[in-house]
Amino acid sequence: MSWKCPSCGFEPIDDALSAHAIETGGCGYVKFPAGVVLVSEATGKELQIHVSTTCGNASLKSLEDSEIRFVASEQFKIEKRTEQGGWAVTNIAYAINPLFLNGAPIALEGVILKSGDKLSIKDKFFRLGVRLL
């Protein structure tokens, strides 16, 4: 079933195109994901996030990954960015071990997440898959 813009009726051929820019004749409406699911690659356990939040070892403990020891008390933020049409991940500057996205360090301003992205500590530990709701 394809997505149809509730504002102007635009129906993209590709369901992944859930936004349409004003510059290309669209109204600018963005279909915003309801949340982010973090999935432990080690255990398969999931954590759903529906509000902007700071993630650390206490909140990620429910994933039951033995590599939780590499996660700081405040490791990264997942935040809703309506102006960019998505959920962003940013590192906490004082976390000892930085978070990587798809094998690369995350830029200071953060990065908008996509389904299929991979998060990890120093690209080695505590690997998480990302799924958008």
The predicted model gives 55-68 an average pLDDT of 98
Q: Cβ of 34: how many Cβ atoms within 10 Å?
A: 9
Outline which parts of the chain fall under CATH 2.60.200.20.
36-132
Domain at 36-132, CATH class: mainly beta
Distance CA 89, CA 114 (A): 10
Q: Is the pTM of this model over 0.75?
A: yes
Distance CA 66, CA 42 (A): 8
Over the chain, what is the mean pLDDT?
Answer: 88
The predicted model gives 110-116 an average pLDDT of 96
Query: How much of the chain, in percent, has pLDDT values that exceed 70?
Result: 83
Which residue, 42, 100, 40, 104, is CA-closest to 76? 100
The two structure tokens encoding residue 57: 């070892």
